[in-house]
Amino acid sequence: MQNQVILIDHPLIQHKLTLMRRVETSTATFRMLIKEISLLLAYEVTRDLPLKYESIKTPIAPMNAPILAPDKKLVIVSIQRAGQGLLEGMLELMPSARVGHIGLYRDPKTLIPVEYYFKVPSDIDQRDVLIVDPMLATGNTAIAAVERLKSTNPLSIKFICLLAAPEGIQHFTEIHPDVPIYTTSIDDYLDEHGYIVPGLGDAGDRLFGTR
C-alpha cells in the first residue's frame, strides 16, 4: 500500500488546505482555494509525463530542447459533483486535456454508489486517465468509478483527491492495487455517517454553497 499512496505535503498546499477546512471559510474562498490547490496538484501528478527532444533556435543559439511527447494524451475524469472543483484548476494547467464526467451519488443509508451519468472521450483507450474527487471516504465511490473506467481500457489510471480516510485507502488499495492515490492529507477516521474526520465537511456543499 505504501507505494500506492502518494502524499503531497508541499507547504503551500498544506497551508491552503487548512484555510479550506476552517468552518468559517466562505463558499467563494473555498472555491478559490480548491482551484489553487488543484493547480499545484497538477504539477505533482504529471511529474512522470514523458519528454521528447526537439531542435529549436533561441535568439542566441540552436539547441535540443525538451517538449512534452505529443502522443501522451490525458483525460481528466471528474466525479460529480465535487470533482468539478479540482477539474477547473487542472484544466488551466493542461488546457488540451480531454474531460470525462461520471455521476455517482452515495445512497445515504447504504453509502453504496449509484451511477446516474457517464460520458468520456471515445478515444479513452489511447489516453491516460486522471480521476478527480476531493474526498476518498469509504472508497466505495472511487472504487466504482475506477471499475467503470477500467471497462473502457484506458492506458493508465491515477486517482487524485484532497483528503483520504485510512478506511477508504485500505478498501481502495485492496480492490485496485494497480491504481495510485494522490492525496494532500490522510485524515484520522470516518464517522458513522461516512464523513472524514476532521475533514472539511461535505465538499460539494462547501463548493457550491448548497447548505
Binding residues for ligand URA, rule: CB under 6 A, are 82, 135, 137, 194-196, 199, 202-204
In the complex, least distance from residue 26 CB atom to ligand URA, rounded to whole angstroms: 17
In the complex, least distance from residue 198 CB atom to ligand URA, rounded to whole angstroms: 9
Closer by beta carbon to ligand URA, 86 or else 196: 196
In the complex, least distance from residue 68 CB atom to ligand URA, rounded to whole angstroms: 33
Closer by beta carbon to ligand URA, 46 or else 185: 185
In the complex, least distance from residue 194 CB atom to ligand URA, rounded to whole angstroms: 6
Please say whether the beta carbons of 79 and 132 come within 8 A. yes
Closer by beta carbon to ligand URA, 34 or else 90: 34
Closer by beta carbon to ligand URA, 103 or else 194: 194
Sheet containing strand 181-183, edge to edge, reads 5-7, 181-183, 156-160, 128-132, 74-80, 98-106, 113-119
Closer by beta carbon to ligand URA, 22 or else 52: 22
Q: DSSP states of 40-102 as a string?
A: HHHHHHTTT--EEEEEEE-SS-EEEEEEE-TT--EEEEEEETTHHHHHHHHHHHSTT-EEEEE
In the complex, least distance from residue 142 CB atom to ligand URA, rounded to whole angstroms: 10
Counting beta carbons within 10 angstroms of the beta carbon of residue 28, is it exposed (0 to 12), middle (13 to 18) or buried (19 or more)? exposed
* Per-residue cell: 48: 512522470
Q: Is the dihedral of CA 45, 47, 48, 51 positive or negative?
A: positive
